[in-house]
Amino acid sequence: MEILTTQVAIIGAGPAGLLLGQLLYKAGIEHIIIEQRSADYVSSRIRAGILEQVSVDLLKQAGVDQHLKEKGLPHSGIEILTNGQKHRVDLSALTGGKQVTVYGQTEVTKDLMAARETAQLRSFYEAKNVQVKDFYGTPKVHFEYQGQVLQINCDFIAGCDGYHGVCRASVPEDQIKTFEKVYPFGWLGILADVPPVADELIYVQSERGFALCSMRSETRSRYYLQVPLTDRVEDWSDDRFWEELKCRLDPESREHLVTGASIEKSIAPLRSFVTEPMRFGKLFLAGDAAHIVPPTGAKGLNLAASDIAYLSTALIQYYVEGSDQGINEYSEKCLQRVWKAERFSWWMTHLLHRFETETEFEHKIKQAELSYILGSTAGKTTLAENYVGLPYEIKTIPEPCA
C-alpha cells in the first residue's frame, strides 16, 4: 500500500470539489482530489446553467472567470407565463442592480479542470472502492487506482461526491438526520443547437403542466417539460417534445420558437433533500452530498458554491490564522442559507407545476397567489431577491506565505 499525505482530501471532482481545490490552491493549502468517474465523464455532464452574482464573484476570486466573462450571458430579468400572458420580473430594478448569468455547469467544470491541469495539481480519476475512515480522529482515505491500493493521511476530508457518494453514506446513522420530499413528476429536458425563443428565461405555468425555456448560449437552447415519473425518454421523440412545448407556450413564443434535432435528452426526477448537520468531526459535506433542490429555483450549483465559500474560508482560517471558528460554524452557516434556498425552490415548484392530486380549489388558490405576486412590487421583490441569490460574505483569500 502506498501512503500519501496532504492537508485536505477532497472526494469528488464535480464543481464543488474542483472549486474548493482551486480556492485552497490559491491560498497555498495542500490537497488531493479523488474522483470515482473518469475526467471525460465529469466534464461532459449536462447540468444547470444559472449563476447568482455571488457565485460569479467566487469564480472570479478563484481566478477561473475568463471564459465566463467572454461567454456568459448576463440576465437582468425573467418572464413568467401564466393564463396565456407573459409577465416580466425585472430582477435588477427590484434588487438594486443585481443580476444572474447564464453559463452552463459543464463550462464551469471545464474551466476549473483546465486551471487544475495548468497548475499541475494532483487528482486521481477513476478511483475504485473509495473509503473514508477515522474522520472523528485521524482521517484517512483508502482507494484503488490503476491496480494499486493507496491511502491518504490528511487533516480534513471534504465530501463533495454528490447525492450517491460515499461520504454521507459513511456517517453513522445515529449521527445524521435527513429531510426529504419527492415530487410526483420529473423534468424532460432537451438540448438543441437552436437560438433561444427569447432573450430571457420563460417560466411557464399552464393547464398542461410546467415548462421552462432556457439557454446555454445565443445558439444553444435548453428546454424542459413537466412529465409523469412513469414516462421514459424513449416515449418522447423530438417532434413530440416540440409539439407539446408549443401547446404550453403563448402565441408569440410559439411563433418565435426554432426547433431542431436534440443533442441531449433526459428526464430528471425532482426532490428536496437536506442533511443535518454538514460536519462530522473532520469530515465536511458540501453540495449535492448534503442537499438537493428541485431545479425550479436555479439553486443547486449556487448552493454548492456557497458551501465551498464557507468551507474554503474555514480551512484558510484554520491554516493561516490558526482559528477553529470557521470550522465550528460551517454547518450552521451553510444550513441557514440551504433552508432558505430549499424554501424558495419548493415554493417555485409548488407555484408553477400542476399536481395531479391538487383539487380545483387548491389550483385556484395557486392561480390567485401567482396573480398577486406578479401584480405586486413587494411580491415580485421577494421573488427577485431569492432568485438572484441571498447574500453571503466572500472573504478575500490571503496570499500564501513565501
User: Is residue 228 among the annotated active site residues?
Assistant: no
Residues whose CB is less than 8 angstroms from the CB of residue 7 and which lie 6 or more positions away in sequence, other chains included: 24, 29, 30, 31, 154, 155, 156, 319
Number of H helices, E strands in the chain: 13, 21
Q: Could you confirm whether 372 is annotated as catalytic? A: no
Q: 370 and 205 in contact (C-beta within 8 Å)?
A: yes
* Backbone dihedral region for residue 109 (phi beyond 0: left; psi -120 to 50: alpha; all else: beta): alpha
Q: Which has the closest alpha carbon to 350: 367, 372, 375?
A: 367
Handedness of CA 195, 197, 199, 201 (dihedral sign): negative
Residue type, 253: S
How far apart CA 177 and CA 275 sit, in angstroms, is 6
Instruction: Identify the active-site residue in 203, 224, 319, 330.
Output: 203
- Phi, psi for 270 (deg, rounded to 5): -110, 135
Which residue out of 15, 26, 31, 75 is catalytically annotated?
Answer: 75
Active site residue 75: yes
> 190: closest CA among 247, 251, 239?
239
Q: Give yes or no: 387 in active site.
A: yes
Q: How far is CA 304 from CA 109, 129, 284, 286, in A?
A: 13, 25, 13, 6
Query: Annotated catalytic residue: which of 26, 282, 295, 333?
Result: 295
Q: Which of 213, 210, 163 is nearest to 184 (CA)?
A: 210
In the annotation, is 299 catalytic?
yes
Spatial distance between the Cα atoms of 326 and 319, rounded to a whole number of angstroms: 11
Nearest to 124, CA basis, from 31, 22, 7, 45: 31
Catalytic residue among 26, 98, 299, 380: 299
Closest CA to 287 of 11, 8, 7, 4: 11
Q: What is the DSSP string of 17-68?
A: HHHHHHHHHHTT--EEEE-SS-HHHHHH-----EE-HHHHHHHHHTT--HHH
How much is the CA Rg of the chain, to the nearest whole Å?
A: 22
Grid cell for residue 309: 465559500
Q: Which of 310, 318, 319, 387 is catalytic?
A: 387
User: What residues are annotated to the active site?
Assistant: 75, 203, 295, 299, 387
